[in-house]
A and B are shown apart, each in its own frame.
Chain A
Amino acid sequence: MTPDLHSLVAAYALDALDDDERDAFEAHLPACATCQAELAGYADVVGELAEATADRPSPDVRDSVLARLDETEQVRPTSMPTSAVADLADRRRRKLSIANMLTAAAAAVILIVGAVVMSGSDGDGYDDVASAADAVVARLEGERGAVELAYSADLDRVALRGDDVGDLEPGLRYALWAIAYGTPTPAGLFDTDDGAIDDTAELTDVVAEAWGITVEPESGSDAPTTEILYFAET
């Protein structure tokens, strides 16, 4: 992982990162408000740079594009959190369906209800949540492998399981984030046992377009203070 992804924003805006750095930056971006703001600031500059080379394509291109609209399905808007999830179906295996939790509420109004998080180990494990009737699951990928996530709205619990995440220094814990609209919301703190996670945390009213895991002080943080180690879009 590149040590300072923040320094890559401008090069990213010009598509001047090679593929590995681009991937790393795109994994970092959803959790970094600073980079998002800087990137948004470059958008119109890119538009103007492009304007300077304006050139008309042949009229055939227009005809061809318009003729092909019918065969090209539009995505559903992100302004409704459920849609990002529904769109998942055409991009990757559908594993996590927050849509089912929110369909009614999200029809017109975006509600990000503050996620109510209580930390904690109370003996439950991943399987207890994953086996709930309404459980949805996701697989967060990281450099050390994957961490599985299960969420049950019925149980108001989220669970993580990862065999080899590595133990942390005393005073630190793994923090799960539910990311929506580019903004991460705390979604639980997790301890390890012998380098592995298999634990649950209380979590209610969550909206997630993506999930991420960082390392935070054991009492948690309001926003991620370190790089995202594991990440999945929903």
Chain B
Amino acid sequence: MTSPVALEIGTFGVAWPPGPVSGHSERGTVGVMTSGVPNRDRATPCPSAIERAGSGDRAAFAEFYDDVSPVVFGTVVRVVRNRAIAEEVTQDVFLELWKQAPRYDRSKGSPKAWAATVAHRRAVDRVRSEESARARDVADANHRVAERDVVVDEVTADLERSTVVDALALLSEAQREAVGLAFYGGHTYREVAAMLNVPEGTIKTRIRDGLSRLRQLMGATP
């Protein structure tokens, strides 16, 4: 199959800075929840909207919603591929985020990252439960996998240009494919291995190497 991540490296490649790309300080819109708070100060105690929401502040939660709902909805719709279902799942995600807000821990990632993590998992679980309900029909399952392949091609072809897209362009094609099918396609690594006819261990390694490289490129860790 063709590469699921149709990135035109030549287009953005020249714009790359030599060092790690900061996902936050250089692109003001990326660090949604840290707006007004420079990246280097993330450890300061100034509470973000989600932290205020954690003590029951509904207005703060509305602010948090406005900041991260495009990320949440976009993630969910990409995986479930149906806007109506995605809106339903998005509601569940935000109620879960509200419920868990008192436990939000900024040392484990930005509010946006936290929201995206919860959203992605909910979306994947939704797809899996629907698939398992239909899984008795093997032919249907095979058909769906083929169908999903096509969608993954689209999925990654039209990503907004962003730091992460630039970073994805610097992965090996094999890594980009594995990360893209897993995250944007919502597939397990075993499914990815079966789809690509590659050993499972190889896919596990590609995902791990791919994510590690993305982390380095985006300067998410020292």
Contact = CB atoms under 8 A, between A and B. Distances in A.
Given A10-B211, A11-B207, A65 B94 contact: yes
A42 B209 CA distance: 12
Interface in B83-131: 86-87, 90-91, 94-95, 98-103, 105, 107-110, 112-117, 119-121, 124, 128
Interface string B173-212: 0000001001110111110100000000000110110111
B204 A44 contact: no
B68 to A, nearest CB: 9
Contacts of B66: 62
Interface of A is mostly: helix
A89 interface: no
B110 A47 contact: yes
A13 interface: yes
B188 A57 contact: no
A217 interface: no
A99 interface: no
B218 A48 contact: yes
A16 B164 contact: no
B73 A61 contact: yes
B208 A11 contact: yes
A44 B113 contact: yes
B75 interface: yes
Contact of B220 (A9, A44, A72): A44
Contacts of A15: 120-121, 124, 182, 186
Interface string A46-72: 111111111111101110111011001
A68 B100 CA distance: 15
Given A16-B207, A57-B86, A10 B212 contact: yes
B108 to A, nearest CB: 5
Given A11-B182, A57-B87, A62-B62, 10 more contacts: A14-B120, A15-B182, A16-B187, A19-B128, A43-B110, A46-B113, A47-B117, A53-B184, A72-B99, A75-B100
Interface stretch (B10-18, B136-144, B145-153, B155-163): B155-163
A18 interface: yes
Nearest to B180: A49
B80 interface: no
A40 B110 CA distance: 10
B20 interface: no
A73 interface: yes
Interface string A169-189: 000000000000000000000
A53 B78 contact: yes
A9 to B, nearest CB: 7
Interface of B: 23, 30, 32, 54, 56, 58, 61-62, 65-66, 69-75, 77-78, 86-87, 90-91, 94-95, 98-103, 105, 107-110, 112-117, 119-121, 124, 128, 155, 159-160, 162-165, 167, 179, 182-184, 186-190, 192, 204-205, 207-208, 210-212, 214-215, 218, 220-221
Contacts of B74: 50-51, 53-55
Given A56-B73, A61-B73, A65-B95, A40 B109 contact: yes
B120 A65 contact: no
Contact of A56 (B70, B114, B184, B207): B70
11 contacts: A16-B189, A19-B128, A43-B108, A53-B74, A54-B71, A54-B160, A55-B77, A56-B69, A60-B87, A64-B91, A65-B95
Contact of B221 (A41, A54, A72): A41
